[in-house]
Chain A
Amino acid sequence: MTYIAKPKFHHPGLKQNELGYTRRDYEGKISTLCAGCGHDSITASIIEACYELSIGPHRVAKISGIGCSSKTPDYFLGNSHGFNSVHGRMPSVLTGANLANRDLIYLGVSGDGDSASIGFGQFAHSIRRGVNMTYIVENNGVYGLTKGQFSATADRGSKSKKGVTNTDNAIDLVAIALQLGATFVARSFSGDKSQLVPLIAAAIRHKGASFIDVISPCIAFNNHAGSTKSFDYVREHNDAVNRLDVLVGRDPIAVDYAPGTVQLVEQHDGNKIALRKIDADYDPHDRLGAMTFLQKHAAKGQIVTGLLYVDPDADDLHEHLNTVETPLNSLEADTLCPGSAVLDKINASLR
């Protein structure tokens, strides 16, 4: 489909955000994924979230690994730089990019093959370092580009399109992210944009390592009976604990919620998000509780979605390293080079 040029014109009455950009300014090239692919819905959600947050359309660095999901950064935020790197290595490339310029927003897009198999180590280590990023896994339980092999997130007992039963245990990336100390952990479903868009927006707002696992059915290879990552299965087993509304600004506008059902969470930058509770007992500030809740519900075959954990006061790798506020990539010889006088002293100490 890439031979079709995407038309640039748009309706003159298209709404603009605070910066004066329309949704179209956050779009990318036309997707080359299969029609109906869950990933395209996530692409649309990212566009929506960035538009709503009024982020400068060039202020995001989109970094991915290899696979269907990793192709998607070409399909959103066309004015931002993208980097389709090496299979399973998005986290390290993103970490390096983040160290070079702390002023940009870092969006890592990966898949279940990319993050749970070949890149499992890098996924883990980028999270434990607390890199300030939004790490999205577009999780379909299957290798799409190589035509339907199981991935490491495929549930034990689920069936492939060819009828093979998976005998390996599944890796739950959300459970791992919680254990590794991610400070914003969520799960969502590509078929539920109203849940997903605010989650992405809140993750971008969050300072620290944000992780979102998005179940995103593969229309071509994993949307059949027997799959636990099909549209039908996920809809039937989705157990949302809460729904988010991102309220940009320090003073939340009054929202008409039933009393006791809304929890306001203040983010690091002073902005607030409103969490509409569905499960009254669920506490998204309790890491251990979240882990237990997740395991219990997984045992019942339920897919827990929503904002599962958030630490609004989290810090990030730059704070751990005590780096200067100025992006490292803008420093020049005048501030980086100690100069010849210092070198003379060093020479003298080596005699």
Chain B
Amino acid sequence: MPDKKPISSVNDFVVRFANVNGSGSASANEMFARAILRHGVPVSPRNIFPSNIQGLPTWYEVRVTEDGHLGARGGVDMMVAMNPQTWDKDVAGIEPGGYLFYDSTKPMPSSKFRDDITVIGVPLTAITNSTYTDPRQRQLFKNIIYLGALSALLDMDPKLIEQLIGEQYKGKEKLLSSNVHALHLGRDWALQNLKCPIGLRVKKSDKVGDRIFIEGNSAAALGAVYGGATVCAWYPITPSSSVAEAFTAHCKKYRHDPETGKAKYAIVQGEDELASIGIVIGASWNGARAFTATSGPGISLMTEFIGLSYFAEIPAVIMNIQRAGPSTGMPTRTQQCDIIACAYASHGDTKHVLLFPEDPAEAFEFAAAAFDLAERLQTTIFLMLDLDIGMNHRLCRPLKWDDSRQYDRGKVMTAEMLEEGRDFGRYLDVDGDGIPYRTYPGTHPTKGSYFTRGTSRDRYARYSEEGTVYADNMQRLVRKFETAQDLVPRPLQANAERPTKYGVIYFGSTSPAMDEAIGLLEARGHQLDRLRIRAFPFHSSVASFLAEHDFVYVVEQNRDSQLRQLIVNENGIDPVRLVPIVHYDGTPITARFIAKAIGDHQDHLKVTPLRKAVS
């Protein structure tokens, strides 16, 4: 018996699987997460993987959370330790009173365990080897066998897992029945040899509702399909490659002409990120909706073209699935570290529109909106995801589409408009919103052509190095950026129950951890108003929020509090009032971290000033 009382919890615990990369564990682990969802209990899974294909350690963490806290929690209640390489660290990481599940085929010295945890040994290798002879089968079914054992230990309904296996291997009877068999091998062994269930239990609930379970990258790619993207050019880079791969898969399903079988899209894997953005710019210049997906190093390479897009006013959509930088950084770890790099990308005076979705549902919506914005504003739109949203399945509201929605193709002068004698100046601000009209190449035999260039030119696109002409154009670009403020998704504000002088600003994948942290902070007696920023340029409500609060915490996942820098810079406010709360070790930010950092700062602020105490 452990010398600490075993943790007892229903529908609220964290299970972490420690595996070897390439061992086929991913699908069994994902099935575990889905099976809990089928019990009506929300889960939040996370892949923690190395920049490697086979051999290095990988972890899969499932937070089971009836309350629907979808951020990472921190700590592990049950470790499924399948990787000898990381055993010591994995065992050390278990919460006191937690559980260790391991393959007990080979005896382990007692020094390899802990006294304050419950150790559960299942002879997985022995069971597998006595049932299967093929090495690959042994490897794969071992994963299903531990899934079966876990189902018994955690009191899960095996019917729900069988149902999932049935869906996964629909039409492949042999695979279906052998997987179900393996599941029961593990489950039966556990039921016969172990005390089931343990203190951690899954109980049927109804907290999942109609929510869906999807990765952010896939949702963003689907948003591109719905948003009318026809050209995609990309270069493989973790963690963004699955955007282009998902776009390819979605297009194969939904974008072929039923009669001719021909593709209503073009996808090119470029030779590098420079070519990818070049293809996007060329296609957009010629009137197609085009995008690329990349990550930090790709953004660095694309910056020259991004400046061209800004200055020559060519639409482009760049999905940046952020990972830890700088340089190659930690390619498989998450961060929100390209805020400044994207907001001011390229040489000279530039500013770009950034969108910050919080989850796959917003990734879908913002991806589709990005194409409207790019054509409306004739500039680059960044969709700022990160690895945490992009490469993990996240429970989110169902995706929605209004069938009456038409694409906003922006200000495009047609042959008819030119025929009518409309004055066409490619860089002429006819409406006062800083946005000029453009024409597509090949529109009219004698009217509306112009020469696109990255050099300075006048309102009619004629080359000019006149200072006044240049400044006039740069000022118009500022006006256009001001117009963008009211077109991009607005910040969402949620106020504390009682009026407070303290506020917190956050964005993107920090969202679920922040929502949970608010509860923890309230329990500590701290009231905070919240503002979730969803885009740059900042809407005027950001300035109002700052004015209404004495101190505003800015929570983000990078070292240099980049969003805070951007807020200070763009709003010209006293930086002292903006308190950075930063988390940047490459793991997703947690509610515990936020609550501690803000809570400690709040406690510190509440020291009674000396003068007041005296008087």
Contacts and interface: CB of A to CB of B under 8 A. Distances in A.
B341 interface: no
Contacts of B455: 84
Contacts of A346: 222, 399
B279 interface: yes
Given A73-B451, A324-B260, A324-B263, A95 B282 contact: yes
B490 interface: no
Contact of B308 (A81, A86, A318): A86
B454 A97 contact: no
Contacts of B266: 99, 318, 321, 323, 328
A86 B449 CA distance: 20
Given A73-B451, A100-B290, A325 B262 contact: yes
A245 to B, nearest CB: 28
B463 A2 contact: yes
B230 interface: yes
A96 B284 contact: yes
Interface string B250-263: 00001101001111
B213 A104 contact: no
B230 A329 contact: yes
Interface in B596-610: none
Nearest to B261: A322
Given A100-B283, A324-B260, A340 B278 contact: no
B449 A80 contact: yes
A331 B230 contact: yes
A97 B286 contact: yes
Interface in B188-218: 208, 210-214
B292 to A, nearest CB: 10
Given A58-B443, A350-B213, A93 B281 contact: yes
Interface in A1-58: 2, 25, 56-58
A198 interface: no
Contacts of B254: 338, 342
Contacts, number: 231
A346 B223 CA distance: 12
A259 interface: no
Contact of A96 (B257, B283, B398): B283
B272 A121 contact: yes
A92 B270 contact: yes
Given A2-B463, A93-B278, A93-B282, A322 B271 contact: no
Given A343-B401, A347-B212, A347-B399, A79 B445 contact: yes
The contact size tier of chain A is 35 or more
A156 interface: no
The contact size tier of chain B is 35 or more
A332 B407 contact: yes
A332 B406 contact: yes
Contacts of B226: 337-338, 343
A333 B406 CA distance: 6
Which of the listed residues A91, A125, A338 has the most CB atoms from chain B within 10 Å of its own CB? A338
A96 B286 contact: yes
A94 interface: yes
Nearest to A122: B275
B263 A321 contact: yes
B158 to A, nearest CB: 19
Nearest to B452: A83
Nearest to B368: A337
Nearest to B280: A96
Contact of B255 (A73, A125, A336): A336
Given A100-B231, A104-B442, A331-B264, A351 B278 contact: no
A268 interface: no
A100 B288 CA distance: 5
B264 A328 contact: yes
Contacts of B288: 96, 99-101, 328-329
Nearest to A128: B271
Interface in A63-84: 63, 73-74, 78-84
B187 to A, nearest CB: 24
Contact of B442 (A81, A91, A331): A81
Contact of B278 (A86, A124, A129, A344): A86
A232 to B, nearest CB: 34
A336 B281 contact: no
B212 A100 contact: no
A260 interface: no
A192 interface: no
A237 interface: no
Contact of A63 (B214, B262, B282, B450): B282
Given A101-B286, A325-B262, A96 B452 contact: no
A229 interface: no
Contact of B271 (A81, A82, A122): A122
Contacts of A86: 278, 304-305, 308, 454
Contacts of B559: none
A122 B231 CA distance: 18
B87 interface: no
B287 A122 contact: no
A161 to B, nearest CB: 27
Contacts of A80: 441-442, 449
Nearest to B230: A328
A276 interface: no
B283 A59 contact: no
B469 to A, nearest CB: 13
Which of the listed residues A78, A92, A325, A336 has the most CB atoms from chain B within 10 Å of its own CB? A92
Given A332-B406, A343-B399, A97 B271 contact: no
Contact of A56 (B264, B280, B439, B445): B445
Contact of B446 (A58, A94, A333): A58
Interface string B15-31: 00000000000000000
Given A93-B278, A101-B441, A335-B264, A79 B449 contact: yes
A350 B210 CA distance: 10
A334 to B, nearest CB: 9
B268 A95 contact: yes
B507 interface: no
20 contacts: A2-B463, A58-B441, A58-B443, A58-B446, A79-B449, A80-B449, A82-B449, A84-B455, A89-B274, A91-B278, A92-B276, A93-B278, A96-B279, A96-B280, A96-B282, A96-B285, A103-B442, A122-B271, A322-B262, A337-B405
Interface of A: 2, 25, 56-59, 61, 63, 73-74, 78-86, 89, 91-101, 103-104, 121-122, 124-125, 129, 317-318, 321-325, 328-333, 335-340, 342-344, 346-347, 350-351
Given A57-B445, A85-B308, A92-B279, 9 more contacts: A63-B282, A82-B449, A83-B453, A86-B278, A93-B285, A96-B283, A97-B285, A100-B286, A338-B225
